[in-house]
Amino acid sequence: MQAIVLQKPGHFEQVGIDEPKGPGPGEALVRVHRVGICGTDVSGYLGKMPFYSYPRIPGHELGVEVLAVGAGVTGVKPGDRCSVEPYLNCQSCFACRRGGGNCCENLQVLGVHTDGGLRPRFLVPARKLHPSTKLALEQLALVETLAIGCHAVSRGGPRPGEHALVIGAGPIGLSVIEFVKLTGAKITVLDVNERRLDFCEKTMGVDHVLLAKGDGSELAGLHDATGGLPAVVFDATGNTKSMGNAFHYVAYTGRLVFVGIVTDDVSFPDPLLHRREMTVFASRNALPADFDRIIGLIEEGRIDTRPWITHRTSFGELIDNFPSYTRPETGVIKAMVEVD
């Protein structure tokens, strides 16, 4: 069968690989139908993802069908449509024992540390499958993106009536917005791309949008929008300069959550951190309960995934189309690969 391999930054190849063997105990053999392209895939392509290793079969936002299960598997059965929780944790390290498998000390993320879903079939631990009888396969592929935002918002803990700032209106920023909305907090979005801000305002229904111009006007605009500074700030840019600037936007005793990841050091003025007694959180991946919650929210109609997918491509055309997904001016929010 054919797979798409990122051999090194900027260079994909379609190659032949062996068919997977039958599932062993606790495993499931799945057929991949839909693969979402996200910021991690783009960062890996650009060589800017610190956890990425090459060569690698990308793909961790997956809508799959179960083909067969191994001994001891009871949670899913052949024919089930599932979202895949791509964080393969060891279950025995300090973080795993405390329920933090999202940042397992030995973590292997599909499509990042180990081969992912840009191939027709592969084996996955059955405990990482989250089934739904109602959702379409492309909706199931969007669950992982939403889970990143779900976990980040849980980390920041915005409360009803508080002001929250989301920096970066790409797919991860949009997933943060979805879950901030559910808390009842007021939302301001800051981005450099007017088209994305327009989407946030008209489609996502956020309270305020601010265009980042880099001239210092952002802080004044934020004061006008919130009457001060936001209690919680989420930086979803994966941009070193933005992450350093984010400290200036946090209210006294406020919280700052870094959702995006960079390879460089992030610097900030320590007196600013101490004077305001900020709390700074990292947010990595998501938890199993996030996946189940999101599937339920989509099934109930409380999250509408329809506006998210702006670009589609076939498996065979992905290599030619992928470079366009790295350019915000193309209007891409979420690209979906149709594998079947």
* One domain for residues 232 and 160: yes
* One domain for residues 23 and 127: yes
Other CB atoms within a 10 A radius of the CB of residue 270 amount to 9
Are the C-beta atoms of 294 and 182 separated by less than 8 Å? no
pLDDT in tens, the chain (340 residues): 999 999 999 999 999 999 999 999 999 999 999 999 988 899 999 998 888 899 999 999 999 999 999 999 999 999 999 999 999 999 999 999 999 999 999 999 999 999 999 999 999 999 999 999 999 999 999 999 999 999 999 999 999 999 999 999 988 999 999 999 999 999 999 999 999 999 999 999 999 999 998 777 889 989 988 889 999 999 999 899 999 999 999 999 999 999 998 888 999 999 999 999 999 999 999 999 999 999 999 999 999 998 889 999 999 999 999 999 998 888 888 999 999 8
Are the C-beta atoms of 335 and 313 separated by less than 8 Å? yes
Q: How far apart are CA 65 and CA 22, in angstroms?
A: 15
Strand 334-338, strand 309-314: pairing: parallel
Report how many domains make up the chain: 2
| Residue 142: inside a domain | no
| Residue 186: inside a domain | yes
Q: How far apart are CA 288 and CA 293, in angstroms?
A: 9
Q: How far apart are CA 137 and CA 84, in angstroms?
A: 11
| Residue 271: inside a domain | yes
Q: How far apart are CA 60 and CA 206, in angstroms?
A: 28
Q: How far apart are CA 47 and CA 63, in angstroms?
A: 26
| Residue 294: inside a domain | no
Amino acid at 334: K
* One domain for residues 96 and 165: no
For residue 202, what pLDDT is reported? 92
What DSSP string describes 103-127?
G-TT-EEBTTTB--SSSSEEEEEGG
Strand 163-167, strand 232-235: pairing: parallel
Q: Residue 9: which CATH number?
A: 3.90.180.10
| pTM, to two decimals | 0.93
* One domain for residues 225 and 262: yes
Q: How far apart are CA 63 and CA 93, in angstroms?
A: 29
* One domain for residues 81 and 120: yes
- Count how many residues are written for the chain: 340
* One domain for residues 119 and 166: no
| Residue 116: inside a domain | yes
* One domain for residues 46 and 163: no
| Residue 136: inside a domain | no
Which one, of 276, 268, 202, 272, lies nearest residue 235 by Cα? 268
* One domain for residues 174 and 213: yes
Question: Could you identify the residue written with the tokens 């956020």?
Answer: 206
| Residue 329: inside a domain | yes
* One domain for residues 126 and 155: no
* One domain for residues 100 and 20: yes
Domain hosting residue 114, numbered range: 2-131+306-338
The side-by-side arrangement of strands in the sheet containing 279-282 is 208-211, 186-191, 163-167, 232-235, 255-258, 279-282
- What Rg value do the Cα atoms of the chain yield, rounded? 20
Which one, of 67, 100, 98, lies nearest residue 82 by Cα? 67
Q: Residue 267: which CATH number?
A: 3.40.50.720
Q: How many CA atoms lie within 13 A of 230 on its CB side?
A: 36
* One domain for residues 32 and 117: yes
Q: How far apart are CA 166 and CA 233, in angstroms?
A: 6
| Residue 166: inside a domain | yes
Paired tokens of 216: 């210092």
147: left (phi over 0), alpha (psi -120 to 50) or beta: alpha
Q: How far apart are CA 200 and CA 216, in angstroms?
A: 22
Paired tokens of 37: 């392209």
Q: What are phi and psi of 252, to 5 degrees?
A: -60, 130
* One domain for residues 188 and 86: no
